[in-house]
Amino acid sequence: MRWALVKVCVAVTTMVVVAFAVPLGLVIRELARDRAFSNAEREAAAIAPALSITTDRAQLERVVASAGSDAGMAVHIPASAAGDGNGGGGDGGGGAGQQAVDLGRQRAADKDIAATRKLGRASTTEVPGGSTLLQPVALTSGDIAVVEVYVPESEVTNGVATAWAVLAGVGVALIVGSVAVADRLGVRMVQPAQRLVESAHELGEGKLGVRVPEEGPTELRLAAVAFNSMADQVVQLLANERELAADLSHRLRTPLTVLRLNAASLGEGPAAEQTRAAVAQLEREVDTIIRTARDAKPQTAALGVGVGCDAAEVVRERMDFWSALAEDEGRKVRVAGVDRPVRIPVARADLVAALDALLGNVFRHTAEGTAFAVDVHNGEDAVIVLVSDAGPGIADPAAAMARGRGSGADGSTGLGLDIVSRLAESTGGDVRIGRSVLGGTEVRIWVQLDRREPERRGHRGTGPGTMRRRRPTKLVSTFNRSRSLP
């Protein structure tokens, strides 16, 4: 495209230069010729007054010499008027027997001089080395003298070559300038197109972070915007797919926890050992799937938009499930705030996954006999769900909340808290980890009912850099009072 633009510009500029330079060069040549013959006419006109006074050869020679044109000027006086020294004051027949007077070097042919004398008007004729101007002059005797002025070819073409050289230089400069401008325009068009092609190839090779600068002509800028939007959508879709795979895999850990606990109660024996080994192998495979699926950036789409559920009902249902396991392990369980409906703008399946992730972590990371509790606090514009336990607590809450940093020696994938955090942030809320009244870990899920956007300041977690927003005063007071209850 770049060279095509250059070729087109060269062709167009060359045609324009030729269309203007050739006629202008011809005009300049004609102007130079007219200037040369105008000078010759002025020289011939300078002799005319002398011819009207006298035709004496000696006097005319002095006039021609004083004009400084004796080398290129000739005067031809007919025989009938020659010798009339005082301009026709002879004896009436003074022209008889006289010879014609010719001053200077004659270059024109006799027939051309005779034709000029007969026609009585100036004419030009070609002679070797140039041209001559034949100017008729009327004498007092009524005869016609002819003044011949020689115009050499060098005078006719004086300055023409220089003017043509200047025109040629201007034309070449215009062509070179047009090539430079066309090349810059081509670069301005081609480079964005090349970047778009290269980015498309890189995106096809799996480099999802590639983007195209929005530069160049309007059409290419729009193409860059469309490409970047498409790339963002591709990244979004891939992230959603991987998050979905990770979430589904993480939900498998809930029945795996039950299987592990049941397998631990089977006692000794080959069958029991095989069952525990199979459960452990299955749990490792699920963890591998989760870690593999989490290699993408977190998705930005909100979860459960446009749907809702009864948080109290979901909590009651999941606590019925986990209470059976808690009873087998001798854990004390407390549930509060679920005696009346609590509607939240979260999909039921997402809330189930979040609760199972937190309660599964309690069973997985605390010793048997450790108590835990789930509290639901309902306010005018927010709902708080507290999951607390009496375990050892989390040493580094910020690291636990950071996505991808929860995996450690205990085999945790770190995705459970991320599922909970994304659920809360989809409503404009957040998640915080602290010390519970039971002495262990407390995970506080803040669900915003009016879906206000959170003001993000740094990474998720506790301490400086967490998300900050206005807390409803009434809900905070109720929440603080509930924390002091036994």
Domain coordinates in residue numbering, the chain: 219-300, 302-483
pLDDT of 289: 65
Q: 157 with 32: CB under 8 angstroms?
A: yes
What's the CA dihedral at 63, 65, 69, 73 to 10 degrees?
A: 70
Q: How many of the other CB atoms lie within 10 Å of CB of 209? A: 9
pLDDT the model gives residue 312: 92
Judge residue 261's burial from the number of C-beta atoms within 10 Å of its C-beta, 0-12 exposed, 13-18 middle, 19 or more buried. Answer: middle
Torsion of CA 358, 361, 367, 371, to 10 degrees: 0
What pLDDT, on a 0 to 100 scale, did the predictor assign at position 334? 93
Q: Is the pTM of this model over 0.85?
A: no
The whole-number pLDDT of residue 409 equals 42
Q: What is the pLDDT along the chain (486 residues), one digit of tens a residue?
A: 677 777 888 888 888 888 888 888 888 888 888 888 888 888 888 777 877 777 777 777 777 776 655 567 888 888 766 655 444 434 434 444 456 677 777 888 888 888 888 888 888 888 888 888 888 888 877 788 888 888 888 888 888 888 888 888 888 888 888 888 888 777 777 778 888 888 888 888 878 888 888 887 788 888 889 988 988 888 888 777 766 666 666 666 667 777 777 777 777 777 777 777 777 767 666 666 666 655 544 443 333 434 688 999 999 988 988 888 888 888 999 999 999 999 999 888 888 888 888 888 888 888 889 999 999 999 888 999 999 999 988 888 887 777 544 444 445 556 678 888 888 888 889 999 999 888 899 999 999 987 655 444 333 444 433 434 444 444 544 454 445 433
User: 62, 64, 60, 82: which is closest to 73 by C-alpha?
Assistant: 64
Alpha carbon separation from 358 to 222, 293, 364, 366, 452 (Å, rounded): 46, 20, 10, 12, 25
Give residue 473's pLDDT. Answer: 44
Per CATH, 219-300 and 302-483 having the same topology is answered no
How confident is the model at residue 444, as a pLDDT?
A: 94
What is the model's pLDDT at position 151? 85
115-127: buried (b, 16+ CB within 10 Å) or exposed (e) per residue?
ebbeeeebbbbeb
CATH number for the region 302-483 comes to 3.30.565.10
CB atoms within 10 A of CB 395: 7
Domain formed by 219-300, architecture: Orthogonal Bundle (1.10)
pLDDT of residue 408: 46
Helix axis angle for 218-251 and 348-365, nearest 10°, is 50
Locate tokens 């190839």: which residue? Answer: 201
Give backbone dihedrals phi and psi of 165, rounded to 5 degrees, phi first: -65, -40
DSSP symbol at 111: H
For residues 229 and 227, give the distance between their C-alpha atoms in angstroms, rounded to a whole number: 5
Helices (H) and strands (E) in the chain, counts: 13, 12
